[in-house]
Amino acid sequence: MSLAISANSRKFPFSGRVQRSIDSEQELADELWGRLRREAREAYLQAPMLAPLFVDSILNQHSFEAAIFHRISTRLQNNIVGLGVIVDAFNRAHDESPYLVEALRADIVGIYDRDPACQRFIEPFLYFKGFHAIQTYRLAHWLWLSGERDFALYLQSRSSDLFQTDIHPAAKIGKSIFLDHATGLVVGETAVIEDQVTLLQDVTLGGTGKEAGDRHPKVRRGAMIGAGAKILGNIEVGENARVAAGSVVLHPVPANSTVAGVPAKLVRHSVGETDEESLELVLYGAFDYAI
Ligand SMILES: CC(C)(COP(=O)(O)OP(=O)(O)OC[C@H]1O[C@@H](n2cnc3c(N)ncnc32)[C@H](O)[C@@H]1OP(=O)(O)O)[C@@H](O)C(=O)NCCC(=O)NCCS
């Protein structure tokens, strides 16, 4: 078996904590579904008073995707828009866009891999509102692209009520996204978040209020944005960059570097292949930061 390669040949972060290799999306789906059902049976024995949660959400479902659609829809439903309508929308999105389920599998694996507090897959699946919020966004985004603007905006508003996350359905968000705690997250209409990004609570990816059109941040692959950070304007947070908790970021952040403070300044600058190259890039003003 090869090493953790997904069906579309990208390396999948199903790493250290799961000891077997995954060759295809189908194999990953089967592995996840088996794990989730095992965990649900164990949880049932330990907490029988929560039986309906484990049975309705997992043990009575027929697949990993069906279980997730049911769980998220159960949270989103109310007496205006019922469970069936939301499950049906998820199923339509699933039928037309294989990306949706690839992304939701990558999200749950990403959380399991990157959240030291996450011990089982059942935890994000049942309880983590960051996971529920990103799946609600994924459905809203599909509805938005399909021209179902009102349904998309309704889900944005419902997610904002329930999970305290306000993600515009037009924003473009990649796979393996970890919204830790999620409370207070705001993501603007023209924001882009690439694969494997981690966002802590109370992060804003917003406009400066001075621009129209494409006005929100672009967060590149593998970046981490700390709690309470505000990133304003159409600026780039480079690959694997880190933004310290509480920062206000107004200038692009170089790849592989760390910025902190208000306004944010470069505190770690591994921006070049070598230390000398990094120093040159910083000294000769490649970035708008004083250090
Ligand atoms: C920035 C961070 C990722 C650490 O990155 P790092 O590259 O290892 O940085 P260091 O810890 O070496 O700190 C580098 C400098 O930045 C400063 N710094 C670090 N975090 C800072 C912050 N949030 N605000 C202001 N300055 C900060 C340090 O004091 C240090 O300054 P010094 O060189 O003058 O002593 C980490 O401090 C952070 O903010 N993580 C966010 C985690 C979070 O949101 N947790 C909430 C969980 S609920």
Using CB atoms within 10 Å of the CB of residue 12, give its burial: 0 to 12 exposed, 13 to 18 middle, 19+ buried.
buried
**pLDDT attached to residue 24:** 80
Q: Which CATH number fits domain 1-166: 3.90.320.10, 3.40.190.10, 1.20.58.220, 1.10.3130.10?
A: 1.10.3130.10
User: Measured in angstroms, how far is the CA atom of residue 228 from the centroid of ligand 1?
Assistant: 13
Nearest CA to ligand 1 atom 36: 244
Instruction: For residues 10 and 128, give the distance between their C-alpha atoms in angstroms, rounded to a whole number.
Output: 26
Q: Helix, strand, or coil here: 174? A: coil
Q: Do 186 and 212 touch, CB atoms closer than 8 A?
A: no
User: Measured in angstroms, how far is the CA atom of residue 192 from the centroid of ligand 1?
Assistant: 24
Nearest ligand 1 atom to alpha carbon 229: 44
Pairing of strands 172-173, 178-179: unpaired
User: Measured in angstroms, how far is the CA atom of residue 255 from the centroid of ligand 1?
Assistant: 16
Task: Write out the two tokens for 206.
Answer: 């917003």
| Residue 26's pLDDT band (cuts 50, 70, 90) | confident
Superfamily of domain 184-291, CATH level 4: Hexapeptide repeat proteins (2.160.10.10)
Pocket of ligand 1 (CB under 6 A): 200, 226-227, 242, 244-246, 258, 260-261, 267-268
Average pLDDT on 227-234 reads 98
Nearest ligand 1 atom to alpha carbon 200: 44
**pLDDT attached to residue 268:** 87
Average pLDDT on 31-41 reads 96
| Residue 4's pLDDT band (cuts 50, 70, 90) | very low
Nearest CA to ligand 1 atom 37: 244
Contacts (Cβ under 8 Å, ≥6 apart) of 12: 4, 5, 6, 22, 28, 106, 109
Average pLDDT on 89-102 reads 95
Among 267, 268, 270, 291, say which to mutate for ligand 1: greatest number of ligand atoms within 8 Å of CB: 267
pLDDT in tens, 157-187: 999 999 999 999 999 999 999 999 999 999 9
Q: Bridge-partner residues for 265, per DSSP?
A: 260
| Residue 13's pLDDT band (cuts 50, 70, 90) | very low
Contacts (Cβ under 8 Å, ≥6 apart) of 170: 141, 144, 189, 190
Instruction: For the chain, give every domain's residue range.
Output: 1-166, 184-291
Strand ranges inside 141-184, DSSP E: 165-167, 172-173, 178-179
- The mean-pLDDT minimum among 160-164, 264-268, 276-280, 285-289 falls in 285-289
Average pLDDT on 232-255 reads 97
The highest-confidence range among 10-14, 100-104, 139-143, by mean pLDDT, is 139-143
Nearest ligand 1 atom to alpha carbon 227: 44
Nearest CA to ligand 1 atom 33: 267
Residue 59 predicted with pLDDT over 90: yes
User: Measured in angstroms, how far is the CA atom of residue 237 from the centroid of ligand 1?
Assistant: 16
User: Measured in angstroms, how far is the CA atom of residue 260 from the centroid of ligand 1?
Assistant: 7
**pLDDT attached to residue 269:** 82
pLDDT in tens, 44-55: 999 999 999 999
